[in-house]
Structure 1
């Protein structure tokens, strides 16, 4: 064991620096093993893949060796919220306990920082659609005069989806760079400078991947100097990487381009007359195109979209108006840095649309015989939103680029999460991350699952695809909710199922908190404070619902979370596996669903004192051969099919060795290599 590993273990051991400095800190054997493995990876500049179950304390396990090593370390988290928590809460605690003076910096993508230039431009804009927006803009103005870092997260009262964000922040496309009159006071530039000088830099996956993909988020100068990377919530990385190593365009950015052209033209004589007509034509063409796309499925391939004549005509019209705007900007672009930037954006828009529409672009045609068509390197697809659309070119496999960037860095890489393995094995995530032979470590959750939790599999539920499943589900859940007095989180595979359940529970005696009826943070806060509420969410709520204590005592999962069949990228990935002679269900659908289920299950027990019941309502867990893979991938719950056991769990007389009619395995089961059978259909729907 290296000196760094010994030192890291000492800090986290009983009587160590953290135990003596932090009142709530409790030494954990799993945490000691994890921090030693991370320290060894740092010391050897190695690659470590580590699953650390809920309660292991992985944050401290990587912060301690990061600070003790003296290496320039980049820590990447899954979300901005986790990024803020890590930087503002966890990192200062560990640094103070260690008594080290290492500098640290928080760095986000440029769209998270106030842009002084765009704020000035917006002051003259008649684009506010309501008095509320006017009031919000005034708050931004007042805050802009006193903020030190320009981080938009400081504006807690501003909704995350506020239309004011793109008006007062910059993007790679519309940033003026050194030509900006506010360059010397730019918050992005200042954040970058702090990160360059810091020993530990906290980022999020979006920013990390944007830089790896050379998307120029203002972070490119920092990555080459890093000696160690810690990727927390690493299970998210492959899907996010596919977006960043691809290329896209959308309706809203092009609308903003048209409006920015007019805003910039106001200060240049003759420019407004030249740009007014093509800018207006672009906005109208985009609206017409969105109407033409109304008959399409919410998500689909480029090939399917362009088979609709009105849609094809709409994209051709968009190309024509973009070219007109580009050419009009060419005549005035030298008049100001802002118009020059708009011209560059218009040129890029034309190029991206041309590549998406071009005959030489790799297209996925599902009606072509798989044996005759070459495997596509990328998928061209679209997605509709209520008032817009987005089009994307997504690579089929990102393991190659991820491997290339990692090897080029010559740094230590630690990939960690609570949900990486499938039935105890790392093969699936290793392949997707491009890890050929990583050191791996599996540390199960240290919680006493047999005493703290119970897994209930209700009887008499029909197949999830059967008519009446939703009604039967509510009928089975009602006595569980009565026993727990609410205090439940219901997780649904679809928004439709969520809405139907919410309607069925409207007259229940517990307050309901339904995804979509209030901002996420507001819902969670109200749920915590209610004491007996019922929270209903869909797939996006599998992560980030962190409710400690009695307020969340039941987690219900309606169906096994197999990916939706309408995802064109996922469908293309399955097709590629089939072409290569693999089994799409075994090699992709099943592993992805297992990891997603583990994420949802992880919402139940968040501390050593939590108690709760997990309700798994999908009868395929017991009726299909693959159900065992799901169950063996979960913590060692006691399992039961008896409602009486659930009622007893919430009763004061619950015995120490409580009942369970379906025993859970005492230890993780070995990985079983499954062969294709009828239990592994190529399609679940």
Structure 2
């Protein structure tokens, strides 16, 4: 027997229902309705639902409509701020108006997304701004600060997300003064939290959710127990996001930032009362010594840390450096304690010093069970301890499938005190009725979606797979060049660039090249520019390379394509562009993937996960590496076809896809595009895409 909510949802998605009047070009889709009915059933009865919804299903409306019609309090979490802003600014208002619902919605992001009025005031008097242009940018921010209601930096046009000013005008958990701040009443972070607590629908992101799970600091402690429906969109990122927050990190950069803040506050509020120079010098010296103990390493190296010290590092020197750093933090805490009554800055700095000392002490002890520890080496040093997955935390602390140990979780850095602002986490009123929905376009390559459900602790969840409505066989083709260098051949990237440049020249740009490494990114970008130098200026596509411009600028420029008499664009990108980048229509018709995206075997986290599977008698390649590659490959391929009217060609420049037995499994995970077997087939497919610019 169907519930009243299911009946409402079915009516809403009917051809002549409310959605047909509210959404442009709406038409009834079987897959979208199927998913919406499953979500409605889960909301009505409680429980967990995992839905893989192919591109074009319309999964956003499939969970928003039943969530809104349920009348329950709802928490929506996304992986990216882009989708977060889209949900809050476009999709939710449209549906709330269409259904004439009296609901309040709120948007809640992490601290780093909001202007801190107190730190803006401090930045005005900072004599050491990072660069000359910062003064002009700061003036624009000051002018905007007088008009903004939310303080969300995403509203500020032209602000580069890489700007060195951002850390100076935003707060962190460590440097926020809380209720002692002179701007506390006007604080944008607190305003956003208050609005979230009063709202019926709250839109957050995965980072915020897990940050709160780790340190109970973002306001979720009060919010989550009052919510009966929780939806995680872009859920495929849930595990990797969670492990970032559920472990511990300590960086030499953190130590230097603390030292800088301590010196600034000391000289401003308590000059002469404490030898600030001595305390700061001790912290800076200890941080530098810790970095020197590691010695010369390749930039970006990840050092395994299985024993008392990272591999290749003298254990006695390493432990000595950790002890010295801990002592420096303890001495700083003692000095700050003597002046804590003078200014709230000193109270917060004292807490930071204690936390940093405890974190350092943690890294001087053996690694936690079922965790892995390593050191990231760059200009600065980062010590990292991470759980292998979020399954245990999800079962015991989120889904409550096991008896909770205490109402308040211990601080991951060893501080068992309650958060001074929020206190202990209250238990939910009735976990059995709460509905949990997890959805994404890619959640695995097997019918049970084990790649997703296992590390997220969701083995008992209902699983639903909804196929894309796109006609991939007619809309898209896949080409794997046979006569191609092997992926480890030094000439491989040059040949990728040659193939991509040829297609882009024929199409007038409209090409996205996705790489698996930053080295390949630079090599392919440079080689494509060299190829295009032979073309006439008006026919020369513009080559955009990730890292050379802010991500938002790259995406906007690419989507503009050929305009104002210019040729179209080629975007060469890695990592974050494999997913979440949407360029529908003619702006993108050729996607090139350089290699199969297997997880790097020498990464400590990947290595530890593989070893755990082997210890269980399972195959780390079949049960971990292959599913990881399948999901990433599916994400990358998904950039090509975004609408029912799109068309294009996907080229995967890795012969293992057709030469190795496991290639069949990877091909099966991709959308059912037609296969191009020969170079002539490829040329013909590209030629068919050519349109006058």
CA distance in 1, matches of 2:689, 2:614: 54
Q: Which one of 539, 544, 549 corresponds to residue 518 of structure 1?
A: 549
Deviation, 1:306, is 6.4
Go from structure 1 to structure 2 and tell me whether the alpha carbon gap of 1:259 and 1:144 turns closer, same or farther (over 3 Å shift). same
Contact kept, 8 Å, 2:39 with 2:66, in 1: the verdict is yes
Specify every segment of 5 or more residues in structure 2 that has no aligned partner in the other structure, as ranges: 401-427, 533-539, 563-567
Residue equivalent to 1:623: 659
In structure 1, the residue corresponding to 2:82 is in which secondary structure? helix
Deviates more, 1:129-138 or 1:67-76: 129-138
Residue equivalent to 1:433: 456
Work out whether 1:599 is the aligned partner of 2:599.
no
In structure 1, the residue corresponding to 2:373 is in which secondary structure? strand
Work out whether 1:361 is the aligned partner of 2:367.
yes
In structure 2, the residue corresponding to 1:644 is in which secondary structure? helix
**Taking structure 1 as the reference length, what is the TM-score of the superposition?**
0.89
Q: Which one of 610, 630, 635 corresponds to residue 646 of structure 2?
A: 610
In structure 2, the residue corresponding to 1:229 is in which secondary structure? strand
CA distance in 2, matches of 1:76, 1:171: 21
Contact kept, 8 Å, 1:382 with 1:392, in 2: the verdict is yes
Deviation, 1:611, is 0.3
In structure 2, the residue corresponding to 1:305 is in which secondary structure? coil
Q: Deviations over 1:640-681 (max 9, x none)?
A: 222222332344599xxxxxxxxxxxxxxxxxxxxxxxxxxx
Contact kept, 8 Å, 1:498 with 1:536, in 2: the verdict is yes
Q: Which one of 370, 373, 396 corresponds to residue 404 of structure 1?
A: 396
Residue equivalent to 1:379: 372
CA distance in 2, matches of 1:215, 1:161: 28
Go from structure 1 to structure 2 and tell me whether the alpha carbon gap of 1:199 and 1:581 turns closer, same or farther (over 3 Å shift). same
Q: Deviations over 1:9-34 (max 9, x none)?
A: 22122111121123332322111111
Deviates more, 1:478-487 or 1:458-467: 478-487
Residue equivalent to 1:443: 466
Contact kept, 8 Å, 1:483 with 1:646, in 2: the verdict is no
Residue equivalent to 1:171: 172
Residue equivalent to 2:524: 501
Deviates more, 1:315-324 or 1:553-562: 315-324
Work out whether 1:203 is the aligned partner of 2:210.
no
Work out whether 1:562 is the aligned partner of 2:598.
yes
CA distance in 2, matches of 1:280, 1:195: 43
Residue equivalent to 1:552: 588
CA distance in 2, matches of 1:449, 1:140: 46
Residue equivalent to 1:681: none
Specify every segment of 5 or more residues in structure 1 that has no aligned partner in the other structure, as ranges: 363-375, 655-685
Query: Within 5 A, what are the aligned runs for 1:411-430?
Result: 411-430=434-453
Deviates more, 1:586-595 or 1:484-493: 484-493
CA distance in 2, matches of 1:132, 1:475: 39
Deviation, 1:318, is 2.7
Deviates more, 1:336-345 or 1:151-160: 151-160
Contact kept, 8 Å, 2:73 with 2:229, in 1: the verdict is yes
Q: Deviations over 1:398-451 (max 9, x none)?
A: 201112234335110000000002144412211111012211111111111011
In structure 2, the residue corresponding to 1:518 is in which secondary structure? coil
Contact kept, 8 Å, 2:248 with 2:385, in 1: the verdict is yes
Residue equivalent to 1:103: 104
CA distance in 2, matches of 1:481, 1:131: 39
Go from structure 1 to structure 2 and tell me whether the alpha carbon gap of 1:157 and 1:284 turns closer, same or farther (over 3 Å shift). farther
Residue equivalent to 1:480: 503
Contact kept, 8 Å, 1:423 with 1:632, in 2: the verdict is no
Work out whether 1:252 is the aligned partner of 2:258.
no
Go from structure 1 to structure 2 and tell me whether the alpha carbon gap of 1:591 and 1:234 turns closer, same or farther (over 3 Å shift). same
Query: Within 5 A, what are the aligned runs for 1:124-143?
Result: 124-143=125-144
Go from structure 1 to structure 2 and tell me whether the alpha carbon gap of 1:444 and 1:78 turns closer, same or farther (over 3 Å shift). same
In structure 1, the residue corresponding to 2:142 is in which secondary structure? helix
Work out whether 1:300 is the aligned partner of 2:292.
no
Deviates more, 1:471-480 or 1:323-332: 471-480
CA distance in 1, matches of 2:613, 2:131: 51
Work out whether 1:390 is the aligned partner of 2:382.
yes
Deviation, 1:453, is 0.4
CA distance in 1, matches of 2:599, 2:611: 14
Q: Deviations over 1:577-620 (max 9, x none)?
A: 12222211111111111111111011000111110001111111
CA distance in 1, matches of 2:64, 2:651: 35
Contact kept, 8 Å, 1:300 with 1:566, in 2: the verdict is no
Deviates more, 1:209-218 or 1:85-94: 209-218
Contact kept, 8 Å, 2:110 with 2:208, in 1: the verdict is yes
Go from structure 1 to structure 2 and tell me whether the alpha carbon gap of 1:330 and 1:602 turns closer, same or farther (over 3 Å shift). same
In structure 1, the residue corresponding to 2:444 is in which secondary structure? coil
In structure 2, the residue corresponding to 1:505 is in which secondary structure? helix
CA distance in 2, matches of 1:134, 1:606: 41
Deviation, 1:87, is 0.5
Deviation, 1:529, is 1.9
Contact kept, 8 Å, 1:19 with 1:26, in 2: the verdict is yes
Deviation, 1:291, is 5.3
Contact kept, 8 Å, 2:448 with 2:463, in 1: the verdict is no
CA distance in 1, matches of 2:486, 2:320: 43
Residue equivalent to 1:454: 477
Query: Within 5 A, what are the aligned runs for 1:153-168?
Result: 153-168=154-169
CA distance in 2, matches of 1:8, 1:608: 24
CA distance in 2, matches of 1:178, 1:652: 64
CA distance in 2, matches of 1:24, 1:272: 70
Deviation, 1:490, is 0.7
Residue equivalent to 1:372: none
Deviation, 1:388, is 2.2
RMSD, aligned α-carbons: 2.1
Deviation, 1:2, is 2.1
Residue equivalent to 2:411: none
CA distance in 2, matches of 1:615, 1:398: 35
Contact kept, 8 Å, 2:507 with 2:689, in 1: the verdict is no
Contact kept, 8 Å, 2:630 with 2:666, in 1: the verdict is yes
Residue equivalent to 1:369: none
Q: Deviations over 1:15-61 (max 9, x none)?
A: 11121123332322111111111111111112100000111111111
In structure 2, the residue corresponding to 1:335 is in which secondary structure? coil
Go from structure 1 to structure 2 and tell me whether the alpha carbon gap of 1:26 and 1:252 turns closer, same or farther (over 3 Å shift). farther
Deviates more, 1:561-570 or 1:214-223: 214-223
CA distance in 2, matches of 1:450, 1:458: 19
Deviation, 1:335, is 2.6
CA distance in 1, matches of 2:505, 2:448: 38
Deviates more, 1:92-101 or 1:272-281: 272-281
Deviation, 1:141, is 2.0
Contact kept, 8 Å, 1:214 with 1:220, in 2: the verdict is no
Deviation, 1:497, is 1.3
Residue equivalent to 1:371: none
